[in-house]
Structure 1
Amino acid sequence: MSQCPFSNLLNPDTYAQGMPYQALKNMRQQGPVVKMDDPITGVPYWAVVGQQELDFVSKNPALFSSAKRTAFPMEMPQDEVDFIHSHTIINMDPPRHQKVRRIVREAFTPKRVNSYEPAFRAHAKEILDKVVKRGECEFVEEVAAELPLVAILELLGVPLADRKQFFDWTNTMMFADDPDMSTSIEDGQIAAGECINYALTLAAQHRKTPMNNITGALLDGDVDGEAISEEDFAWMFILILVGGNESTRTVISHGMRLLMEHPDQLDYLVQNPSKIAPAIDEILRYNTAFIQMRRTATEDIELGGQQLCPGDKVILHYHAVNHSEDVFGDDAMAFDVRRSERMPKLSQQIRSFGIGQHFCIGSHLARLELQVMFEEIIPRLRNPRLQGEISYIRSYFVNGIKNMPISFDINT
């Protein structure tokens, strides 16, 4: 078994103080696929930390299933897998996956997403207007969380008046392992139930007054001539809500942290605003929002020099792969906003959005939000610095920050 400083990639305590960069490097040095124990659940797993191997697993769903035990890394009862999680696209295999994805894809085409840019820009300016004259803010909730939540709620047809309720629901659902974010697993289930009821109310509204948004696209779509069931829609609603909110919030938060930790690089972007957009790839690479996903082996197969058996649990560790020295060079552990100037194909090498059939369908939306936010943040929050400790989310799934109080110069 692994001889890493930590023994389990699926222990939330592993990430409670931030990403264990050096320990993950030590793991990569053991090989691209490492056998691990999970004393918490008793289910051992293979950790995939090599890019070539991660790509092979991701591109071969017949060999590595998302549906058998879901794509989520946590363990759950099989009846929950069959009757709840099977309704979400992330937990589907071909051919059903492609048919459902086709419906969702129409709401995320580059042309449609690009049309949101003026509205996103206006929201971003309003967000900064609220804090810039104070000289300080709690960056995560007051800045990083705002645009992703506003954007995804608008695209789903949720009134902004309900924004705070959805902020609380998504936190409760996603971070049940963190005592500061949720009191129990049951609370997470209750929050999911509230979201489902809300989604069903939206579905009823759409039948009376059709909506031209993601909700409308899902409800009007069909798979093999049959409309998406309301149950399928409700779970898809939750997945899109969480995926479109938590992930981008996380990347914005870590991006700001990294820029504060590297003031010379922040100054480079202040002086060269045209370089902000290409710097987004390095921010995405360095602190991936979703740490890891799961697949289940369906037959005997060799992977990265290891022999896997049917039913074996396979964990795709995107963060470890995004720091691979084999791909990004000897300075892979360093943060460098100019990396894309040296690596023109950087966007194709990062695995922050996955790869293969489950490549994040909202990646274009996320990139637009990140670009707009940093283009507004960097020139306006001048000389930012940390005002207290960063509080990380205790989770092995989402690489999030709970609190990050900052101060900055007030422009007169």
Structure 2
Amino acid sequence: MNTCPFSNALDPETFAEGMPYQELKEIRAAGPILRMEDPITDIPYWLVTQRKELDFVSKNPKLFSSAENLAFPMEMDDDIKFMLQQQIINMDPPNHQKYRKIIRRAFTPAAVDSYEPAFRAHAERILDAVTNNGECEFVEDVAAELPLIAILDLLGVPADDREDFFHWTNTMIFADDPDMSTSREEGQIAAFEVITYANNLAEQHKINPKNDLVGALLDGAVAGEALSQEEFCWFFVLLLVGGNESTRTVTAQGMRLLMENPLQLQYLVDNPDKIAGATEEILRYSTAFITMRRTAMEDIELGGQLIKQGDKVILHYHSVNHDENIFGSDACEFDVTRPERMPDLYNQHRSFGIGQHFCIGSHLARLELRVMFEAIIPRLRNPRLKSKPKFVRSYFVNAMKEMQISFDTNGSAKLRADT
């Protein structure tokens, strides 16, 4: 049995100070699949640390199920599991493909690209609100704004209700963090608040149908089968969290990385045409979701290990996105020029997964990231951390609680010589 730098990748304390990159590097070196114990739940699991094995698990849902014990890495009560089985992320074929076809029509590249002018206007407004202050709390003031506005616009939620959704989303995301004044039970209550709201939207659509994402989901059908209203409500929750938190997290983490690497930030100030490529490196280096779960449906040998039927399998996307076999000896280094050396980087990282559960909103997320950083980089001049960022203690979402920053309010966009 190989020894590991930490004994449990599903312990929130492992991520209290952010992503443990060096420890993950040592774990990858120990093998592509490692057996780990979880004293918190008393349920052992296999940790998948390298890309070849993650791709195999992800592409073989008959062998590794998302539906059997859900795709979320945490353990849940049976009643919650029963309800969450109606979310597409927790489905296997053939149900998964049926519902994905309904949703996919609302996320075609052409449909998403049509949002770009509105997104750019939102981004400029977001930056207008902070640039003259010389400082801001970046997570809430900047990173959280566009993703929340974008997904709520798509879902037909009025601007007056956005504050409620910001609160509900945070409660759900932070429910497992012992430092936050919330709990898993409060997270479930917040989810039901969102479900109630979604149910009301569905009822309104019956009376006054609209040609928006809600309408696409409620009116869409495959082989004559449409989403039930209950299924729609659970999809609404998933779209809200997936479309909001993921892009917020990557925007905040990306800003942190650029401030910690000022020469790379300066490179993007001088070469704004490279920002789009740089967002792929940000996605690779600090992706939003850390882990997902699969359940082995039969005995199988993989990565030199015998995985038994019923075993819990954890896919670790951060480890995989730093796999030296794929990204080279400098895989653990953040480098915004990597896409210039690796033009297919967008196709090599697994920040959006792979296989049947490849993120259906990937094109939307990429557009939001590009728009935000193309607005941030020329306007927040000489940004620097005012204090140590605060990370969410989570082995599921790579979120940040707070990042206080300061920046110049006038002068050139060039970095000062004394930085």
User: TM-score range with shorter-chain normalisation?
Assistant: over 0.9
1:64 maps to what in 2? Answer: 64
Residues 129-153 of structure 1, C-alpha deviations (whole Å, 9 max, x = no match)? 0000011000000000000000000
Q: How far apart, in 2, do the equivalents of 1:342 and 1:396 lie?
A: 31
Contact kept in structure 2, 1:69 and 1:78, CA below 8 Å = no
What is the TM-score when the length of structure 1 is the normalising length? 0.98
Q: What amino acid is the match of 2:92?
A: D
1:383 is paired with a residue whose SS is strand
1:69 is paired with a residue whose SS is coil
2:46 is paired with a residue whose SS is strand
1:78 maps to what in 2? Answer: 78
Q: How far has the Cα of 1:86 moved from its partner?
A: 1.0
Residues 346-378 of structure 1, C-alpha deviations (whole Å, 9 max, x = no match)? 111100000000000000000000000000000
Contact kept in structure 1, 2:174 and 2:182, CA below 8 Å = no
Contact kept in structure 2, 1:157 and 1:213, CA below 8 Å = yes
Q: How far apart, in 1, do the equivalents of 2:179 and 2:22 lie?
A: 27
1:240 maps to what in 2? Answer: 239
2:104 is paired with a residue whose SS is helix
Q: How much is the aligned-residue C-alpha RMSD, in angstroms? A: 1.0
Superposition pairs for residues 175-254 of structure 1, below 5 Å?
175-254=174-253
214-223 or 231-240, which moves further after superposition? 214-223
Q: How far apart, in 1, do the equivalents of 2:50 and 2:184 lie?
A: 33
71-80 or 232-241, which moves further after superposition? 71-80
2:350 maps to what in 1? Answer: 351
1:409 maps to what in 2? Answer: 408
2:311 maps to what in 1? Answer: 312
Percentage of matched positions with identical amino acids: 69
Contact kept in structure 2, 1:32 and 1:49, CA below 8 Å = yes
Check 1:210–1:182 CA distance in 2 against 1; reply closer, same or farther (3 A cut).
farther
Q: What amino acid is the match of 1:261?
A: E
Check 1:181–1:220 CA distance in 2 against 1; reply closer, same or farther (3 A cut).
farther
Contact kept in structure 2, 1:137 and 1:407, CA below 8 Å = yes
2:300 maps to what in 1? Answer: 301
Q: How far has the Cα of 1:223 moved from its partner?
A: 4.5
1:112 is paired with a residue whose SS is helix
Q: How far apart, in 2, do the equivalents of 1:69 and 1:77 lie?
A: 11
**Does the alignment pair 1:269 with 2:290?**
no
Superposition pairs for residues 76-225 of structure 1, below 5 Å?
76-81=76-81, 83-225=82-224
2:18 maps to what in 1? Answer: 18
2:194 is paired with a residue whose SS is helix
Unaligned runs of 5+ in 2: 412-419
2:384 is paired with a residue whose SS is strand
Residues 199-244 of structure 1, C-alpha deviations (whole Å, 9 max, x = no match)? 0000011111112222111111235423311111111000000000
1:51 maps to what in 2? Answer: 51
Contact kept in structure 2, 1:2 and 1:36, CA below 8 Å = no
1:384 is paired with a residue whose SS is strand
1:35 maps to what in 2? Answer: 35
Q: How far apart, in 2, do the equivalents of 1:227 and 1:273 lie?
A: 44
Contact kept in structure 2, 1:171 and 1:181, CA below 8 Å = no
2:259 maps to what in 1? Answer: 260
Contact kept in structure 2, 1:55 and 1:356, CA below 8 Å = yes
Q: What amino acid is the match of 1:127?
A: I
What is the TM-score when the length of structure 2 is the normalising length? 0.97
**Does the alignment pair 1:372 with 2:371?**
yes
Q: What amino acid is the match of 2:176?
A: D
1:131 is paired with a residue whose SS is coil
Q: How far apart, in 2, do the equivalents of 1:105 and 1:329 lie?
A: 34
2:34 is paired with a residue whose SS is strand
2:376 is paired with a residue whose SS is helix
Check 1:183–1:2 CA distance in 2 against 1; reply closer, same or farther (3 A cut).
farther
Unaligned runs of 5+ in 1: none
Superposed structure 1 runs of 4+ greater than 4 Å apart: none
Contact kept in structure 1, 2:5 and 2:27, CA below 8 Å = no
Q: What amino acid is the match of 2:328?
A: G
Q: What amino acid is the match of 1:218?
A: L
1:385 is paired with a residue whose SS is strand
